[in-house]
Copies of this chain bind each other. A is one copy, B any other.
Amino acid sequence: MARCREIAACTEVPGEITRLFLTPPMHEVHALLREWMETAGMTVRVDAIGNLRGLWPGLTPRSPCLLIASHLDTVTNAGAFDGILGVVLGVAIVEEFNGQFQPFAIEVIGFSEEEGVRFSKPFLGSLALVGKLDANTLARTDRRGISVAEAIQAYGLDPAQLSTAALSNETFAYLEFHIEQGPVLESEDTSLGVVEALVGQTRMELNFAGQANHAGTTPMHLRHDAMAAAAEWIVAVEDHASSHSGLVATVGKVAAAPGAGNVIAGHVTASLDVRHADDSAREASVIAILNLAETAAARRGVHVTSGKQLEQPAVLLDPHLTAVLGKAAARAGFPARRMTSGAGHDAMILAPIVPSAMLFLRSPGGLSHHPDETVLPQDVEAALATAMEFLAQLRDDRTNPKDGHA
């Protein structure tokens, strides 16, 4: 936690924590982590997308390799633990080895980009690892017109060398620690959560077109009130999600036009965000929710249209590794809740390529992306103890392979 706070001081904006992809303070972060990693005996490099990579070798040069990673960038005015904690925990695990080599190597990676703030596209660091950082992405520009490729060069790296950022062939598993960024663990008085899946997500915009009219001279029965239609729908969205297990649905952005207190709204635009770990459940709910909009609108002679902005399938983490992680937590004395992640994480990018597992740490107040974001010391200890049990199990699996999950 002290290390996270030390890294938090590396910021573009004094007085807050703001550290976007490949901005100058990232050099300071790399220097700090490099020092801790090298002191622990790791070999450190920065790859061509700006990921900091520390390798603790295995017993042989061709030992299989476990990846422990999370991200080093932050949102604007962020907290001190989102991302960073997962990297610092990776270093702490290697330090726990006390110089002892393992039957597998461990590579700890601090991804250069996950939040998507600077180039309005997330996961740049992990996408490079799996070879999915394409030319279009390299050509994206930030607010100042600087492209991703130019940002890489300005940081002192070579975008032509991106292929060297690729995952090593020896990688056999991916493990990510992350704060929950939600209230579930706290509400259940639990330190840790084992993530089974990262939810799929549909984002839409709905337009309710009624008729703007004078609030005084238009009797209720002659109105086509777009705001009343949207409001009925917003309540129906909440009802629907509350009665469907594992579903969350949110209308967070609403704009009424003309937007005057004495004019009936003629037009309302509203956002819709629907998430579920099961894609077909999510898709069925999106259809049901759009039907609810039709019903609320038709009742008032309001016309509703919708457009899809994002459709992202759910990502399942590796069932075996996830089971091992769950048992490890229990053995460490911290039985973990099985849960889905409602937010995106680098594990989403790695999971289709390499067996992946993810451990959540309780977020006090459910708070994240906020200066008050924190984590409890005992939960960090629980995560580290769980990690050591998890590694012990991986060692056993390597030493005494079973057919059960070949």
A217: which B residues are within 8 A, CB to CB? 180-184, 341-343, 366, 368
Contact partner, A218, options B222, B228, B342, Cβ 8 Å: B342
User: How far, in Å, is A244 (CB) from chain B's closest CB?
Assistant: 9
Contact partner, A216, options B187, B221, B248, B251, Cβ 8 Å: B248
Q: How far is the CA of A183 from the CA of B215 in the complex (A)?
A: 12
Q: Does A143 contact B (CB under 8 A)?
A: no
Q: How far is the CA of A256 from the CA of B219 in the complex (A)?
A: 27
A253: which B residues are within 8 A, CB to CB? 256, 259-261
A side interface size, CB within 8 A:
62
The answer on a CB contact under 8 Å between A230 and B227 is no
A228: which B residues are within 8 A, CB to CB? 234-235, 238, 251
The answer on a CB contact under 8 Å between A261 and B254 is no
User: How far, in Å, is A55 (CB) from chain B's closest CB?
Assistant: 32
Once A214-B182, A218-B182 are accepted as A-B contacts, the answer to whether A262 and B273 lie under 8 Å apart by CB is: yes
Contact partner, A273, options B215, B221, B232, B369, Cβ 8 Å: B215
User: How far, in Å, is A132 (CB) from chain B's closest CB?
Assistant: 22
The interface residues of chain A, by DSSP majority, are classed as: mixed
Q: Does A148 contact B (CB under 8 A)?
A: no
Of the listed stretches A61-69, A84-92, A263-271, A392-400, name the one at the interface; the rest are far from the partner chain: A263-271
The answer on a CB contact under 8 Å between B222 and A184 is yes
User: How far, in Å, is A253 (CB) from chain B's closest CB?
Assistant: 5
Within 8 A of B (CB), among A166-214: 180-184, 187, 199, 201, 203, 205, 213-214
Once A183-B222, A222-B183, A262-B203 are accepted as A-B contacts, the answer to whether A216 and B342 lie under 8 Å apart by CB is: yes
The answer on a CB contact under 8 Å between A252 and B248 is no
User: CB-nearest residue of chain B relative to A211?
Assistant: B366
Q: Which residues of A contact B (CB under 8 A)?
A: 180-184, 187, 199, 201, 203, 205, 213-222, 225, 227-228, 230-235, 238, 241-242, 247-256, 258-265, 271-273, 275, 309, 341-344, 366, 368-369
27 contacts across the A-B interface (CB closer than 8 A): A180-B217, A181-B214, A182-B217, A184-B217, A199-B216, A213-B366, A214-B368, A214-B369, A215-B252, A216-B342, A217-B368, A220-B241, A220-B247, A220-B248, A222-B366, A227-B234, A227-B251, A227-B252, A230-B231, A231-B233, A252-B258, A252-B261, A253-B261, A254-B254, A254-B265, A260-B271, A261-B271
**Additional A-B contacts beyond A235-B235, A250-B262 (5; CB < 8 A):** A203-B261, A220-B241, A220-B242, A221-B242, A261-B272
